[in-house]
Amino acid sequence: MASQTSDTVLPNTPTLEDMQRWTWVIGRAQQLMMEHGVELAMKAGDGPAPTPMPALMGTSAIAQAATNFWSDSMKLWQRFLTPGEAAAPEEPKSKDRRFAAPEWREHPLFDLIRQSYQLIAQHMLKSVDLVEGVDEAEKERIRFATRTVVDAMSPSNFAFTNPEVMKKTLETGGENLLKGLEHMLRDMRQGQLTHVREGAFELGRNLATTPGKVVKRAPLYELIQYSPTTDEVFETPLVIFPPWINRFYILDLTPEKSFIRWAVDQGLTVFMVSWKSADASMKDVVWDDYVAAQIDAIDTIRELLDVPSAHAIGYCVAGTTLAATLAVLAGRGEAEKVKSATFFTAQVDFESAGELKNFVDDEQLKLLESLAPEGFFDGRYMAATFNMLRGRDLIWNYVVGNYLLGQDYPAFDLLHWNGDTTNLPAKWHRSYLADLYRDNKLAVPKAMTVLGVPLDLRHVTTPAYVQAGREDHIAPPESVWKITDHFDGPLRFVLAGSGHIAGVVNPPSAGKYQYWTNEKPADSLAEFTEGATEHKGSWWPDWIGWIERQSSEKVPATGARVPGEGKLPAIEDAPGSYVRAR
């Protein structure tokens, strides 16, 4: 088996034709690089310095780790040099897709490369736990930086240590590397890693297609009202606040995946806030402005439909803002304006906020200021940050596929949305990271004041539905759970399978994943999980059942329930203009 693999991977003596072919490949590659270099030189300007990586400290523990590493390295080399005398321990079946090709185990050279890398990676990560003299927060930053380096140095990321790339290169005569180089240079020009084939998706054509109208345009947001599909609708409408760090249509992807379309089909009058992508005119926008915008949207809907209240959903950071909005309304004696509040993977207590806390020290915040000279923060930097949290899947997987193997880009709606970045007001973004992620002020009663109201989450009695993702790396379930420690009203907590996106965007028709509920009181996520009941499929039906229990009255789907036929005339068709602004 090994010899057959060797024949397919390692080249024979090149013929004159082969040499001519490779001369052309190298020449073409040099031409592409030269053209790109000239282009960069013409656009040269000041750029941000790279973030410094934390350094490991020299300690006795690190010295012991080095000794252990060299001991394990000698054992590894002994197994390869004298295979008959030192049998390798049986390896468990790996789920690491980087080393899925059979050559990584069947070809002696690549097997050695793989095992050497895994040995180094294992010891690098273990050594972080042995570092002395730093607090846990600093150690976590070191751990994150080490893991980032470990992922970057994987042999699967380099052409001459990846058997799949070598095989592809020999089969295509280097065409894959040239195609990959073109991909890489294009990504460098646009300053962002490409995940999806250009032109595969278009808003209003095959994304964000749920029928509706923009019925209000404010400086910070557009309000979209969707057309009813049922003869009767629930009297209490629903307004959805998406995260302003992303485009709203994550909840309106293809018709089969659209939460908005599904909610409309359940008989809800659905409104969506579409946030404006920041520009220089928004340099003074702060926390208060987003809370005020949420209250303004709620009041607009109440007046339009002549109803006392609305259901509200806040997704991710917009859920954090929704919690602040509820606290402001409670402080004003206006809590009844929100009938119920639903939180998709949202946090209010950032003590256990996960790996994003690695980006909120003083040095990182100072760097952010340098990246926003015009008062707004380029969304491509935020996209890169989130990609780093799953670098193996969202960065290096595409480096190999797009750049080394020269593969065509897929047509994947979720990845298109992920790359459709939104700019952020710099002042607001910095204060969000500092006040919440770093200082955790929202969790402290009256530590923050918004719109003149000292925030106290203990005064929030609005019925709440809290959804967390079991595998969420952006809003860890342990962090989302902490909402239950602060709100004082009736609350239903649901733990969904998968993560920050797939755990939310999981239509019942897909029959995927699962969710857990627990009807008994629990003091911790661990206690909730221990006594939870697992349900197959989507949690969406559980949510609509909960909504109906809050307010079951229905009215005809006529008049102002139809976009543009009430006090607010239709401005344009959904998905509107703000979602298209770059």
Locus of tokens 């946030």: 275
Contact 259, 251 (CB under 8 A): yes
Contact 305, 568 (CB under 8 A): no
Report the half-sphere exposure of 525 (CA within 13 A, side-chain side): 17
Tell me the residue ranges of DSSP E strands in 353-499: 376-377, 424-425, 449-450, 453-454, 464-469, 491-496
Looking at residue 43, its pLDDT comes to 52
Report CA 70 to chain centroid distance, whole Å: 38
Looking at residue 464, its pLDDT comes to 98
What are the pLDDT digits (tens) for 515-564?
999 999 999 999 999 999 999 999 999 999 999 999 999 999 999 999 99
**Backbone φ and ψ of 427, nearest 5°:** -65, -45
**Backbone φ and ψ of 121, nearest 5°:** -60, -45
CATH code for the domain defined by 212-580: 3.40.50.1820
The domain spans of the chain are 212-580
The count of residues in the chain is 582
Token pair recorded at residue 299: 């009041």
With a cut of 70, which residues of the chain have pLDDT below it?
1-94, 127-128, 130-135, 137-138, 141-142, 188, 190-197, 358-359, 380-399
Strand partners, 274: 222
Q: Alpha carbon of 503 to those of 209, 344, 473, 538: distances in Å?
A: 22, 9, 12, 9
Catalytic residue check, 316: yes
What whole-number distance in Å separates Cα of residue 427 and Cα of residue 372? 9
- Lateral strand order in the sheet of 212-217: 533-536, 514-517, 491-496, 464-469, 338-344, 310-315, 238-241, 270-275, 221-226, 212-217, 572-573
Looking at residue 194, its pLDDT comes to 67
Cα Rg of the chain, angstroms = 27
Axis crossing angle, helix 175-190 with helix 163-172, rounded to the nearest 10: 110
- Say which residues have a Cβ less than 8 Å from residue 349's Cβ, sequence separation at least 6: 440, 442, 443, 479, 482, 483, 485, 486
What are the pLDDT digits (tens) for 289-299?
999 999 999 99
Q: Which of 65, 250, 316, 475 is catalytic?
A: 316
Axis crossing angle, helix 108-129 with helix 60-81, rounded to the nearest 10: 170
Looking at residue 436, its pLDDT comes to 92
Looking at residue 385, its pLDDT comes to 58
Looking at residue 39, its pLDDT comes to 55
